[in-house]
A and B are shown apart, each in its own frame.
Chain A
Amino acid sequence: MALDSKVPSGPIAQKWDKHKFDMKLVNPANKRKYSVIVVGSGLAGASAAASMAELGYNVKCFCFQDSPRRAHSIAAQGGINAAKNYPNDGDSIYRLFYDTVKGGDFRSREANVYRLAQVSNNIIDQCAAQGVPFAREYGGLLDNRSFGGALVSRTFYARGQTGQQLLLGAYQSLSRQIGLGKVKMIPQTEMLDLVVVDGQARGIVTRHLTTGKIESHAADAVVLATGGYGNVFFLSTNAVGCNVTATFRAYKKGAYFANPCYTQIHPTCIPVTGDHQSKLTLMSESLRNDGRVWVPLKKGDNRAPGDIPEAERDYYLERKYPTYGNLAARDISSRAAKQVCDEGRGVGPGGRGVYLDFADAMKRLGENVIRERYTNLFQMYERITGENPYKVPMRIYPAVHYTMGGLWVDYNLMSNIPGLHVVGEANFSDHGANRLGASALMQGLADGYFVLPYTIGNYFASTLRKPITTDHPEFKKAEAGVRQRIQELLSIKGKRTVTSFHRELGLLLWEYCGMARNEAGLKKALAKIPEIREEFWKNVTVLGEDKDFNRSLERAGRVADFLEFGELMVQDALHRNESCGGHFREEHQTEDGEAKRDDDHFAYVAAWQYAGDGQPAVLNKEPLVFEEVHLATRSYK
């Protein structure tokens, strides 16, 4: 099927304005006649739910956490980009747009990215008005810092807790609407199916996580804001509850899953220490403003870092990328770390680590300045590792952090199923094959505050829907399916725990579909995943009952979805016979080990269509047309 991106015509700078004018409006007095379901309450979900409720729509918002304030956006540390050009260093909407397209290795949709850059400034204004305590200069104006993949300082921040403060801003706006009765908030509830009636998304089936109650909810439109699928790797920087279930169930109901192989491996995380680990912890990219990344020059150099003289250190990012240095883009920095570790020059137990050293910055600026900038990050590091980063360099290693792939959406953020909208990390739209630092917060809030509230009105005003209730047979069918699956999981009564399957899948994907991929490895994974899945459905053990608080059951359902989704991800990685951004195919690299794209054959979005269990997914392509940015080899040298 041909995918229509619905990108408006005209010059790129005028597309969004033109589109806003062309879109149909809903009479303010009629907005209360429309209902919207929002699944997820992170930056995208909470901002969308609050903004739509302010406009007058009736919103039902769901989250699996016990409170909407706990969505994983809260853990974002470093900051949020905007093209304000407050530091007078030459930033502009066009430059933010350009950097993002380039950072994404020319695999994103230009018009969406331009709009993102355009509304970035409104986000900062909106958040400041909500009382988000952004960092300030002594004169009282907003402070900025630098992030990877950019040569300007455009990142706004609130200490090392920017995601927390932005999310609390959105949560507070959402809370206000809950108090006013315009949003019905339903926490501790997981979406287990999407309901499509007459080709339109009309509702969801949920399970309440403390009572086990299965329920149907009907609406005029459904918005998924359910985040990314990084936990398919078992170990990632995501919260332990993050999962792919909502978007994957939508995929199985016909929504296309775009670019699942684009996963971001973040260069600065605390290295893995043992099998017991349940998650990995990120150390904000902002640390690369002052920290210098290095490894010993010689293989197997076991001296303490302080005993290695300057001449015997390899500051490999500064050496390889003199222009961007320690602020090279994420995918590039991650691969460079893997490379030096593969060469046997990694540090720490197991040799999978590199130093992030603040000694020079402390000498130059004083320990106090470093303390002021990064206190909470340094404390977090010390708590986890037991080492004091003021005295010895941090040890870091890349870890799965973000997923650029997601459900396919058009310019209106609507999937190929009419009425099903997808916002934030859950969609595929803005980051191409690699996301730049401080752009996830920007995209989540752009979608929720400034894009979806407009485009959803256009959907309501330009389509007809039959009035339905949850008594419709499609709801009954979906509910029955959900119940049956739960019973199946409970009745297996096998020998292995849910976690053991999740870990097995994660290790396999990290090995063959992680930082570097090749055809042989991907084929191996493609053969192995169905075996793990088969064993799961024969031998998993899920204790307890369904009508009860039962975390094992919750996790079992999510891992079952990961076991199917993982296969789709590998299939996508195998088909994309080029390297781009976070998708590094070893067969396609330049002489010095950089990603080599194949624009002639792969300048498209791969949107996968479910074709039935046991059937390979069907590939649909949206060609990517670059009218503004000249396709070029990405260089941070």
Chain B
Amino acid sequence: MTSTRTSQSMTDRSVNFQPAAPAVRAPSPYPPAGGGGTREAPSRRALARIPLLRTLRDGSGFDVVLVLCAVGYLLVFAAFPLAYTLVMSLQQVDMFSLASFDRPFAGLDNYRDVFSRPEALQILKNTVIFVVLSITFQLSIGFGLALFFQQPFPGATYIRGVFLAGWIMPALVVGAIWKWIFAGDFGVLNYLLTSLHLTGGKIFWLSDPDVALFAVIIANIWLGIPFNMILLSVGLAAIPRDLYEAAEIDGARAFRRFRHITLPLMRSTLGAVVALGIIFTLQQFDLIAALTQGGPANASNVAQYWSWQMSFQTYEISAGSVVAVLMIALVILVAALYVRSTEREHAA
């Protein structure tokens, strides 16, 4: 595949197609660099001789500072809660010993306790199903909608905006509404399904252990569509139109164009959206709290809700921390995979 970047056509990303323009070097908006004369792009060896301050402004020092600011900020505000949780999972924590670090050491006892609970296996299984199905459908529906709204038709860009509703509505409200939609006796979904004769009787979406998890997943997919759709729309809009034109002229059909142009160029966006989507899904809590509370009988319970139940309902804070640590491990895996996949983003 040719280089993903061409110096051509950083033209207007609007819906209307612009003809390809040959690369034209615009007159430089910059005054000549201080110090007189133009400079060559500094070579690596030259960099090594430039004093530190110069690298900050002009060299790799600049990048380092930028990254350190962000990572530093995160380390200050986000690292110690992680450490705190990890420490708590190894101690015996009671309600009122929260603020001190000086608590009896429990080693791996808490871990043994959590894993030997009968609900552990089911909850972990549910978590995997929850994440996999949520991401798959959020991504495909989001991507489908993004592609759909790229097409030129009147009002496309307006209508696309209303899909933000899922991202804006407070989680408490979303949970309550889906609970009423899914209600077995008086829910709208059952009403529509039975009126359209799509099902025989009423489905008890939330209280039937076989169905409950999927009901929660459906609500979660609804919740995740705006995030996927908007970001993929931006990514799609950044793809130069003339690439498609050229391919069409060459005789490629829609699907081939999608496979060979759209997907590769969207790779970094897709990777980011999937990785973040997985992490968000692992944090999704309010929906389960509102819909089923993990029931019936843990049929729709997932790791993050279980952790909350143990920390904040039965005040078994050590056990809750253990599950949190497990989720951290899972996210480490996802993050590592994502970072690995970014190796191939640098074609240059």
Chains A and B form a bound pair: no
Interface residues of B (CB under 8 A from A): none
Interface residues of A (CB under 8 A from B): none
